[in-house]
Amino acid sequence: MKSKSILLVLLASILFTFTNCSRKATNLSFAFYNVENLFDTINDPAIDDEDFLPESENPWNTERYNHKLDQLTKVMNDIDKSGFPGIFGLCEVENKLVVEQLINHPAMQKSGYQIIHKDSPDERGIDVALLYQPSVYQPLQNRFIRIALPENPDNSTRDILYSKGLISGHDTLHLFINHWVSRWGGQEKTEPARQYIAGLIKTITDSIMQTNPDANILIAGDLNDNPTDASLLNFLRAKEVVPNPAPKTLYNLSLTIYKSGEGSLYYKSWDMFDQIIVSTAMLTGAGGMKVTTDKQTVIKHDYLLFKPKNGEPRPNRTASGKKYFGGFSDHLPVYLEMTTK
């Protein structure tokens, strides 16, 4: 009887050890990049792509398009030193074709990315997209949230890409990939549109966290506002990270570093339009996933910047108006590492 009891204890110990080993923490990463007008050279009558054609005033030809792909893939290879980010959000892509050509570039073929994309009604003809490695992320549901702005319903803009899926087959992640209405026409004039979109996302995420207080939610994108603007603070209510995060709350991982002077694009000074925002559970690990730091990383390699005659270095962009620079993008990528059990 005594030997039988010892055997049961040994078996329980082995099972416990095996279970803990099988649920060993694994690392994964997320990145977001506004790739600045990734257009092909083919005329699409349905969108405003006249500035990105071979006969345009600033010609957009095959050579320049291929150079753009070379530049972007160089950056995407250089974000995560351990490999490609498992999940990668993009904005300012014209269509699925350019995203396919991006991931099929020789420099990207080892990434193993799959694509989630849908043409949006945006007047400029630019969309958001999501790249993912199936070994890391398995989508369960994808939805493209159409934006009907109350003050201007005829002003078509980008959809919000919502994807719900499993991380490594276990933990559920809710992803929102964004490109909010730009400031073109003035910050104050366009501010209500961004506030409306922020409020819409807040309503959706509140509903998710009401159902599951420990839901893993990640919101990312070019929001065309800074973390301290009303759309983020008052409408989305994305707060600064604190030591003891409140339940069912959104926290902005870009807020602290923006206050310290960092940014992801440069106009008259550094702005932090590219942001990553997470739910409480992703700070505490209550939902099985946890960020490794309470701040997003802005990828700011020297080769991504150029030094003007006057002023500080800023993103080396592809083109502006009639000028072609042959750079990368007017935005810098942002990056986040996480662990999951």
Question: Which pLDDT value is given to residue 75?
Answer: 98
* Cα 56 to the center of its chain, rounded Å: 31
Question: Which pLDDT value is given to residue 70?
Answer: 98
pLDDT tens-place string over residues 127-179: 999 999 999 999 999 999 999 998 877 778 999 999 999 998 889 999 999 99
Question: Which pLDDT value is given to residue 25?
Answer: 64
Question: Which pLDDT value is given to residue 91?
Answer: 98
Which residue from 180, 152, 164 is spatially nearest to 87, judged by alpha carbons? 164
Mean pLDDT of 200-221: 98
Question: Which pLDDT value is given to residue 290?
Answer: 97
Question: Which pLDDT value is given to residue 185?
Answer: 86
CB 108 within 8 A of CB 100: no
Which residue from 237, 154, 223, 145 is spatially nearest to 191, judged by alpha carbons? 223
pLDDT tens-place string over residues 228-281: 999 999 999 999 999 999 999 999 999 999 999 999 999 999 999 999 999 999
Question: Which pLDDT value is given to residue 24?
Answer: 59
Three-state secondary structure call for residue 195: helix
* Cα 217 to the center of its chain, rounded Å: 12
Q: Which residue has the tokens 């257009």?
A: 39
pLDDT tens-place string over residues 304-336: 999 998 889 999 999 998 899 999 999 999 999
- Percent of all residues in the chain with a pLDDT value above 90, rounded to a whole number: 84
**Residue 102 domain-assigned (yes or no):** yes
Residues 6+ apart with CB under 8 A from 203: none
**Residue 19 domain-assigned (yes or no):** no
Distance CA(198)–CA(223), nearest Å, equals 9
**Residue 313, domain extent:** 30-332
Distances in whole angstroms, Cα of residue 330 to Cα of each of 174, 217, 222? 28, 27, 12
Q: Residue 153 is encoded by which pair of tokens?
A: 């319903």
**Residue 340 domain-assigned (yes or no):** no
Question: Which pLDDT value is given to residue 85?
Answer: 98
Lowest mean pLDDT, pick from 18-27, 139-148, 170-179, 283-292? 18-27
- Percent of all residues in the chain with a pLDDT value above 70, rounded to a whole number: 93
SS3 content of the chain, % helix, strand, coil (to 5): 30, 30, 45
Distance CA(197)–CA(160), nearest Å, equals 9
CA quadruple 149, 151, 154, 155: dihedral, nearest 10 = -70
Question: Which pLDDT value is given to residue 181?
Answer: 96
Mean pLDDT of 173-194: 95
**Residue 169 domain-assigned (yes or no):** yes
Mean pLDDT of 8-37: 65
**Residue 221 reports pLDDT greater than 70:** yes
DSSP 282: H
**Residue 9 reports pLDDT greater than 60:** no
**Residue 5 domain-assigned (yes or no):** no
pLDDT band (50, 70, 90) for residue 10:
very low
Distances in whole angstroms, Cα of residue 76 to Cα of each of 82, 106, 204, 219? 12, 12, 30, 20
Domain count, the chain: 1
CA quadruple 80, 167, 35, 205: dihedral, nearest 10 = -130
Distance CA(278)–CA(139), nearest Å, equals 19
**Residue 17 domain-assigned (yes or no):** no
Which residue from 334, 248, 337 is spatially nearest to 33, judged by alpha carbons? 334
**Residue 142 domain-assigned (yes or no):** yes
Distance CA(97)–CA(80), nearest Å, equals 25
Residue 303 is part of a domain; what is its CATH number? Answer: 3.60.10.10
**Residue 1 reports pLDDT greater than 60:** no
**Residue 22 reports pLDDT greater than 90:** no
Give one word for 47, left, alpha or beta, with left for phi > 0 and alpha for psi -120 to 50.
beta
CB 99 within 8 A of CB 42: no
Question: Which pLDDT value is given to residue 155?
Answer: 77
**Residue 53 domain-assigned (yes or no):** yes
CB 145 within 8 A of CB 162: yes
Q: What is the mean pLDDT of the chain?
A: 92
